[in-house]
Chain A
Amino acid sequence: MLINHPLLGPRDAAEFVVKGDAALIGRPDGMTASPQEMHDYAYLRDNPAGTHRELWYHEQGDRSWLVVTRDTLTHEVLDVALARDVARAEGRSR
C-alpha cells in the first residue's frame, strides 16, 4: 500500500506506524471537561465500515504525523494531510 505523503510523494506503508482514530486530535480541555467527556475521549472509538480518518506516523521517514482518510472496506486511500495542518484548521494548535 502506498501513502501519498503531502510533502514527500508516494511512500511505502511499511515506513509508517498507525496510531488509530484521528479523533484523538480533538482532546477535551482537561481542566474544564467532565469525567464522562474525558472517559469518552480516552476509551471510545468509532469503528466504521467505510470512510475512516486515522493518525499515521512516518517513523521511518520524516517523522511527521499524518491524517490518512481511507475506506476500511476497499483499503482505498482517499486523502492524506499533515496532522499539523488538520489540527490548526480545527483550532487545536498554534
Chain B
Amino acid sequence: MADITLTAAPILGLDLTLGANTLRERDDLALVSVATPQGGEDALAKALKAGFKLAMPEPTRSTQAGDTHAIRTAADQMLLVFPHDGPDANTMVQGKLKGAGYTTDQTDVWVVIEASGPDTLAALERLCPLDLHDSAFPVGASARTVMEHMGAMILRMDADRFLLLSASSSAGSFAHALETSYKNVI
C-alpha cells in the first residue's frame, strides 16, 4: 500500500508585490458561517461574547476581537474569520457557541486575499460597485457584493488594507482582476 499523507495547500499561493502594494492569499484563516436560530438572537449574542469576546456585527459592519473578525453576511447570518490550523475549525466554533448558532465550515469555499498599500483604494474602486471612501466605508465596514462579475465579500481592516473573499472555484480570475486593476492605477 502506498503511504499517502494529505497536506493542506493554498488555493492560489498568491504573493505579489505591485509597486508599494502587496496582494497575498491568507490561507492561514478559517471561515465558519453562523446562522441565527429563529428567536435565538440573544442566546447567540451571549455565546459569541463568552466564546470569542465578540459583539454581534450590525448590518454593513464587522466586529473584531484580537485576530477574529465577525462579518455580517445576511439578515440572520455572520461569517467568523480567524487564524486556524487544521480541518476542525467548525468543531472548534461549535464547541465555543454550545449550540447557540447553526454553523457551516466555509474555509475551502472562499479564497481570502489581503490587499494592502497606498494604491489599494484606487485599484478597488475600479472593481467594486460600493462607495469605499472612508466616510461611507470606514475601517471595520464589510459588505457582500460583486466584483468583475464575481461574487465577493470585502472587509476594511485598515485605511489601506482590505480583506477580499471570492469563490475558490474562480479564485484565479478574481486574483487576475485584482492584479490587473493594480497595474492600471500604479
Listed in ascending order, the chain A residues whose CB lies under 8 Å from chain B are: 7-9, 11-12, 14-15, 60-64, 82, 84, 94
Number of B positions contacting A (CB below 8 A): 13
Which residues on A sit within 8 Å (CB–CB) of B151?
60
B21 within 8 A of A: no
Which residues on B sit within 8 Å (CB–CB) of A15?
129, 145-146
Which residues on A sit within 8 Å (CB–CB) of B38?
94
| CB-CB contacts below 8 Å: B117-170 with A | 129-130, 143-146, 151
Question: Contacts A12-B129, A60-B151 given: A7-B75 contact, CB under 8 Å?
Answer: yes
B73 within 8 A of A: yes
Question: Contacts A9-B60, A14-B129 given: A60-B146 contact, CB under 8 Å?
Answer: yes
Question: Contacts A15-B129, A60-B151 given: A8-B143 contact, CB under 8 Å?
Answer: yes
Q: Using an 8 Å CB-CB cutoff, how does the interface string of B65-83 with A read, 1 for contact, 0 for none?
A: 0000000011100000000
- In the complex, the 8 A-B pairs of residues with the closest C-beta atoms, listed nearest first: A60-B146, A7-B59, A62-B74, A12-B129, A63-B74, A61-B144, A8-B60, A60-B151
The total of interchain contacts (Cβ-Cβ below 8 angstroms) comes to: 34
Which residue in A62, A82, A94 is a CB contact (below 8 Å) of B144?
Answer: A62
Which residues on A sit within 8 Å (CB–CB) of B73?
62
Which residues on A sit within 8 Å (CB–CB) of B143?
8, 61
**Is the pair A8, B59 in contact by a Cβ cutoff of 8 Å?**
yes
How many Å lie between the Cα of A21 and that of B145 in the bound state? 25
In the complex, the chain A residue whose C-beta lies closest to that of B147 is A60
Shortest Cβ gap from B130 to chain A (Å): 8
Shortest Cβ gap from A80 to chain B (Å): 14
How many Å lie between the Cα of A84 and that of B38 in the bound state? 13
How many Å lie between the Cα of A73 and that of B74 in the bound state? 32
**Is the pair A14, B146 in contact by a Cβ cutoff of 8 Å?**
yes
How many Å lie between the Cα of A60 and that of B114 in the bound state? 21
In the complex, the chain B residue whose C-beta lies closest to that of A12 is B129
Q: Using an 8 Å CB-CB cutoff, how does the interface string of B49-62 with A read, 1 for contact, 0 for none?
A: 00000000001100
